[in-house]
Homo-oligomer: A and B are copies of this chain.
């Protein structure tokens, strides 16, 4: 991987593109030996490209395909190939069409994006003006993709990885399934399924730590066709799900808020939230999912003790207590007109409150036809981490209880 951009060296941007591509390559069984970042500097780009080609079978160059004079990835590849640049007229038309569809004038500079090293090929860019490039140098492949993440991602998935796999003679279909878990540690998870991990080669099983979002168990299978690859994954996934049980809250791109919304919707229940130390974070995450309005009524961010009393009807003496969190959950049900009420109160720090230490958190849950429940927990870390942990812990509690209702 070679990422281009002086702003990367200056730390103005973090190079998330290389990490993303690295993850895709790993999932496809392609070893990634080195990532580099250099500035918008032609001689340094040429030198880096030569060294990477010396040590690898293929290089993906990310960035430097824009329209300005700073963008010299095309020139760098042409120089390493020992050829000139040729202007492609179909690309000129594509770029002109992109501008006119947005009713904007096309600066002359943008035509530089129609230049291709002689003998090189083009990777189409349906999402922007800069096409990608695919070039051969001494039998090795150089791909150039834009630095704009969604344009880059579309090209890598639709073109670069299939092309790499075809060149390597690997099985052409690779699929993966991520089981997203919450509720145990990496070592706990590893103990549960260690013998499966070691025994499995196709699909392979990998752990990915996602911080506050939990741990992911990823199965990756290779086969001649996608259907064959899924057929390899399916029995192993079933076996792992039996072992992991309700630790698994979703698959692939599903977040905890997706899991909660899907379960509420399936049961025809609406949700109201009352939150203290999180200040609105739980409502914000739930509302981030398109279609949340079918189940989500709203949240009361009752940050001051006064608001807990006047708006939610809390009468408990201490606002960090079992009684308080239960009254908050029931208040959310009643005030927001929701079937299910959830609530959190606690001490995010930096100072203790009501004689309770930082990290003390109460989670509350009111569901129809059952006594209101309160759970006490002690969360580690600083203010931000305690707030984030409280948020996902409360959503996870709701998920587990909704599953138990079914």
- A-side residues, CB < 8 A to B, are 8-16, 18-24, 26, 32-39, 44, 47-48, 51, 55, 208-209, 273, 275, 277-288, 290, 292-293, 296-304, 306-307, 310-311, 335-337, 349-350, 383-384, 387
Most buried by B among A14, A15, A51, A299: A299
CA gap between A387 and B292 in the complex, in Å: 14
- Given A19-B14, A284-B281, decide whether A34 and B24 contact each other with a Cβ distance below 8 A: no
**Chain B: which residue is nearest A15 at the CB level?**
B15
Query: Hey, which chain B residues are within 8 Å of A14, CB to CB?
Result: 14-16, 19
A229 to B202, alpha carbons, bound, how many Å? 61
Given A34-B44, A275-B280, does the pair A311, B288 have CB atoms closer than 8 Å?
Answer: no
Residue of B22, B39, B283, B303 near A33 (CB, 8 A) is: B39
How far in angstroms is the closest Cβ of chain B from A42? 14
A299 CA / B16 CA spacing, docked (Å): 34
Closest to A38 in B: B34
A35 touches which one: B32, B37, B47 (CB < 8 A)? Answer: B37
Distance (Å) between the CB of A55 and the closest chain B CB?
A: 8
Q: Which of B34, B298, B384 contacts A9 (CB 8 A)?
A: B34
Contact B280 A284 (CB under 8 A): yes
Task: Please measure, in the bound complex, the distance between the C-alpha atom of A3 and the C-alpha atom of B302, giving whole angstroms.
Answer: 44
A287 touches B298 (CB 8 A): no
Contact A298 B303 (CB under 8 A): yes
Contact among B282, B297, B303 for A307, CB-based, below 8 A: B297
The CA-CA distance from A277 to B297 in the complex, in Å, is 12
- Please, which residue of chain B has its CB at the minimum distance from the CB of A23? B11
Q: Given the complex, which residues of B lie within 8 Å of A277, measured CB to CB?
A: 287
The answer for the CA separation of A273 and B283 in the assembled complex, in Å, is 13
Interchain CB contact under 8 A, A307 and B279: no
Q: A13–B9 contact, CB under 8 A?
A: no
Question: Do the beta carbons of A304 and B297 come within 8 Å of each other?
Answer: yes
* Chain B residues, Cβ within 8 Å of A350: 290
Check A301/B303 contact, CB under 8 A, given A14-B14, A277-B287: no
Q: How far is the CB of A100 from chain B (nearest CB, A)?
A: 20
User: In the assembled complex, how far is the CB of residue A274 from the closest CB belonging to chain B, in whole angstroms?
Assistant: 10
User: Could you tell me if A12 and B208 are in contact, using CB atoms closer than 8 angstroms?
Assistant: yes
Is there an interface contact between B19 and A13, defined as CB atoms closer than 8 Å?
yes
Give CA–CA (A287, B48) in the complex, Å: 47
Contact of A10 among B32, B51, B275 (CB under 8 A): B32
Instruction: Give 30 A-B contacts (CB < 8 Å), ordered by A residue.
Output: A8-B19, A9-B26, A9-B32, A9-B34, A10-B22, A10-B26, A11-B21, A11-B22, A11-B26, A13-B19, A14-B15, A14-B16, A15-B19, A33-B44, A34-B48, A275-B280, A279-B280, A279-B287, A279-B292, A279-B296, A280-B282, A280-B283, A284-B284, A287-B303, A290-B383, A296-B304, A298-B307, A301-B301, A311-B311, A311-B335
A9 with B22: CB separation less than 8 A: yes
Chain B: which residue is nearest A13 at the CB level?
B19
Considering the chains assembled together, what is the distance between the CA atoms of A312 and B383 in angstroms? 30
Nearest CB of chain B from residue A178's CB, rounded to whole Å:
12
Contact between B301 and A279, CB atoms less than 8 A apart: no
Which residue of B22, B280, B290, B297 is within 8 Å of A299 (Cβ)? B280
- Taking a contact as CB atoms under 8 Å apart, the answer to whether B18 and A37 are in contact is yes
